[in-house]
């Protein structure tokens, strides 16, 4: 039994996530965690709201409220939405807590004492209109690498390069939109990543080769090859944890520092004793899900903090990087009204439909495109026709032909179940989640093939007068029931509500486990079979167009 910490990149607490954000980290992490629970592993799923940084401060400035107020309000909104999508976090916390401050300070102090934080003077942008220093996202302009005009002072979303504000070409202030910016000399502290690049390279080559997404490994090694530079760890700003060092009373710890350490802080908030059993246990596997725009924070900065601090925290065992999900060929954009946000999606269809359709289109190894037609196909053809209709037909046939139904079937003994289950577990073992959902669909296809070839309704009719037909009918019914039960179990990580509905016909009320498939089934023939899924209605299609 493995001990696993599953994390998802922390959502920013300044707006509701969109479908691309959701499928990029939180949803696949939740799917994987549910599987680990089914498999009986000792696993926890830790996530929370990233509450610091300029996105929250900028949004608060524009709304005229305190950053802490906005951050807590959005945290609760996002947390509630994830609960509605049936994300079963062990704990969903936030970064602006005393627990996370303690973790951030322990990292800071140890890195400082070990010689990896140094003082230096640099030039920080100052807006002459707003009369304030500008940090990362308060500065926008042109990327010095790809020359796209969508770069921010911390990162370019087009080429995913980490940036410094001074590198931005033609910078302008994100608050007033003006270019009246002066770079003034200021004193800051920097994390000397360059002093750790040899250890980082060795770690990535040793561990990343086997357990990280290939793109994550290549990008990280390429960045190290170019040569790591010190990265500012403090900023002249108002929002965040105060720097625990004399002379920096007016500075704050940069958001990226306490955000990546937030995984530990949130675990500590969950349980003040158990958190060490996971984070300081050499046998723990840390599995991190994130979008490719967050990769270098988790493959370079985060391991460097752990290695340099010597605090004994586990290093990332697995980095599961997803690519981008676009919407109808375009990048999600609230300002341009492109895409669907999590709250909007639930006004169209229940959570199960989105969970399944998004994982069916999961951008696991390459950018993928969410389209209305693709969503309708996933719902109508796959969920409703292949899976839902099959399960309902089996249950109705069983109820109508009770004399042919044998109780105590062991699903795993059915060869078709066994074959697809092996694909399913192997896929989860390698974190190939699209292959895992394909195994579920494949099992439903096997069941539909039996239904089409054997025509059990005709066998049932013939069984009334033909003993040979009765024997064959019982075998066919056993296979169909075994497949139906297995679908109920295997669907759980993807569509938990449908899984519960289907397994209720087998008197399973607790969270399903894979062990159920090696035990005997008990089909409740008195329970009325109802549809698991339904096709999109004209009204739902209209809502889909409206919110898109």
Q: What is the pLDDT of residue 60?
A: 85
Under 8 Å between Cβ of 163 and 150: no
* Per-residue pLDDT tens over the stretch 470-500: 999 999 999 999 999 999 999 999 999 999 9
* Per-residue pLDDT tens over the stretch 359-386: 999 999 999 999 999 999 999 999 999 9
Q: Is the pLDDT of residue 462 over 80?
A: yes
Q: What is the pLDDT of residue 183?
A: 87
Outline where DSSP puts E strands in 69-116: 91-94
* Per-residue pLDDT tens over the stretch 398-442: 999 999 999 999 999 999 999 999 999 999 999 999 999 999 999
Cα separation of 170 and 140, whole Å? 8
Residue 301, exposed/middle/buried by CB under 10 A (0-12, 13-18, 19+)?
buried
The helix/strand count (H/E) of the chain reads as 23, 16
Cα separation of 487 and 533, whole Å? 14
Distances in Å between the Cα of 274 and the Cα atoms of 268, 284, 508 are 8, 13, 31
* Per-residue pLDDT tens over the stretch 25-69: 999 999 999 999 999 999 999 999 999 987 788 788 888 999 999
Q: What is the pLDDT of residue 237?
A: 82
Cα separation of 51 and 265, whole Å? 13
Stretch 181-195: mean pLDDT: 92
Residue spans of the domains in the chain: they are 3-116+192-322, 351-518
Stretch 281-304: mean pLDDT: 96
* Per-residue pLDDT tens over the stretch 320-366: 999 999 999 998 887 677 899 999 999 999 999 999 999 999 999 99
**DSSP state letter for 341:** B
Per-chain mean pLDDT for the chain: 94
Q: What is the pLDDT of residue 334?
A: 72
Topology annotation, domain 351-518 = Isoleucyl-tRNA Synthetase; Domain 1 (1.10.730)
Q: Is the pLDDT of residue 305 over 70?
A: yes
Task: Encode 491-523 in three state secondary structure.
Answer: CCCCCHHHHHHHHHCCCCCCCCCHHHHHCCCCC
Its CATH class, for the domain covering 3-116+192-322, is alpha beta
| Residue whose C-alpha is closest to residue 253's, from 269, 265, 267 | 265
**Main-chain phi, psi angles of 55, to 5 degrees:** -60, -45
Domain 3-116+192-322 shares a fold with domain 351-518: no
Q: What is the pLDDT of residue 277?
A: 96
**Main-chain phi, psi angles of 329, to 5 degrees:** 85, 0
Cα separation of 91 and 259, whole Å? 16
Distances in Å between the Cα of 343 and the Cα atoms of 14, 22, 28, 85 are 14, 12, 19, 10
User: Could you tell me the maximum CA-CA distance found in the chain, to the nearest angstrom?
Assistant: 95
Q: What is the pLDDT of residue 321?
A: 97
Cα separation of 346 and 525, whole Å? 33
Reported as a pLDDT band with limits 50, 70 and 90, residue 160 is confident
Q: What is the pLDDT of residue 380?
A: 98
Q: What is the pLDDT of residue 6?
A: 98
Cα separation of 444 and 173, whole Å? 55
Cα separation of 410 and 407, whole Å? 9
Stretch 246-260: mean pLDDT: 91
- Does the global pTM surpass 0.85? yes
Distances in Å between the Cα of 19 and the Cα atoms of 181, 234, 287, 339, 491 are 36, 33, 22, 8, 21
Instruction: Kindly give the pairing relationship between strand 368-370 and strand 325-327.
Output: parallel
Stretch 269-275: mean pLDDT: 97
Under 8 Å between Cβ of 48 and 259: no
Cα separation of 376 and 354, whole Å? 11
* Positive or negative: CA dihedral 360, 363, 367, 369: positive
Residue with the bigger pLDDT between 99 and 186: it is 99
**DSSP state letter for 165:** G
* Per-residue pLDDT tens over the stretch 98-138: 999 999 999 999 999 999 999 988 778 889 998 888 877 78
Cα separation of 431 and 408, whole Å? 33
């Amino acid at each position: 039994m493995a001990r696993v910490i599953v994390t998802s990149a922390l959502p920013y607490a300044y707006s509701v996530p969109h479908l691309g954000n959701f499928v990029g980290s939180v949803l696949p992490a939740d799917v994987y965690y549910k599987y680990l629970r089914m498999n009986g592993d000792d696993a926890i799923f830790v996530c929370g709201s990233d509450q610091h940084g300029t996105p929250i401060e900028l949004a608060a400035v524009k709304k005229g409220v305190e950053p802490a107020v906005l951050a807590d309000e959005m945290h609760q909104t996002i947390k509630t939405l994830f609960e509605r999508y049936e994300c079963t976090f062990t704990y969903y916390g936030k970064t602006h807590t005393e627990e996370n401050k303690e973790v951030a300070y322990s990292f800071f102090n140890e890195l400082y004492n070990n010689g990896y934080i140094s003082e230096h003077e640099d030039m920080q942008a100052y807006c002459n209109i707003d009369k304030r220093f500008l940090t990362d996202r308060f500065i926008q302009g042109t990327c010095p690498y790809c020359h796209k005009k969508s770069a921010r002072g911390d990162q370019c979303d087009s080429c995913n390069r980490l940036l410094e504000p001074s590198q931005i070409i033609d910078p302008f202030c994100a608050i007033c939109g003006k270019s009246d910016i002066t770079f003034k000399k200021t004193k800051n502290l920097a994390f000397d990543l360059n002093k750790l690049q040899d250890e980082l390279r060795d770690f990535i080559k040793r561990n990343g080769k086997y357990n990280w997404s290939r793109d994550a490994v290549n990008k990280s090694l390429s960045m190290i090859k170019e040569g790591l530079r010190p990265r500012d760890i403090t900023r002249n700003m108002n929002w965040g944890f105060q720097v625990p060092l004399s002379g920096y009373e007016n500075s704050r710890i940069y958001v990226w520092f306490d955000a990546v350490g937030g995984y530990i802080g949130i675990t500590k908030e969950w349980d003040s004793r158990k958190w060490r059993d996971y984070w300081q246990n050499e046998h723990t596997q840390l599995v991190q899900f994130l979008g490719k725009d967050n990769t270098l924070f988790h493959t370079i900065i985060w391991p460097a903090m752990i290695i340099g601090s010597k605090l004994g925290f586990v290093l990332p065992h697995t980095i599961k990087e997803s690519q981008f999900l676009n919407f109808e060929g375009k990048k999600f954009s609230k300002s341009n009204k492109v895409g669907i946000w999590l709250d909007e999606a639930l006004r169209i269809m229940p959570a199960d439909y989105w969970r399944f359709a998004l994982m069916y289109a999961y951008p696991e190894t390459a950018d993928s495109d969410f389209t209305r037609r693709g969503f309708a196909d996933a719902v109508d053809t796959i969920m409703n026709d292949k899976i839902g209709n099959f399960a309902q037909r089996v249950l109705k046939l069983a109820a109508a032909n009770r004399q042919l139904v044998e109780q105590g079937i062991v699903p795993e003994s059915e060869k078709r179940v066994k074959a697809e289950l092996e694909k399913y577990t192997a896929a989860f073992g390698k974190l190939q989640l699209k292959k895992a959902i394909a195994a579920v669909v494949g099992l439903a296809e096997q069941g539909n093939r039996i239904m089409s070839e054997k025509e059990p309704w005709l066998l049932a009719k013939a069984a009334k007068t033909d003993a040979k037909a009765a024997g064959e009918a019982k075998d066919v019914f056993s296979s169909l029931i075994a497949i139906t039960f297995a679908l109920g179990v295997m669907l759980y990580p993807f569509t938990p509500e449908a899984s519960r509905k289907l397994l209720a016909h087998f008197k399973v009320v607790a969270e399903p486990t894979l062990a159920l498939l090696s035990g005997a089934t008990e089909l409740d023939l008195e329970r009325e079979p109802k549809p698991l899924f339904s096709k999109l209605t004209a009204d739902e299609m209209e809502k889909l167009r409206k919110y898109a």
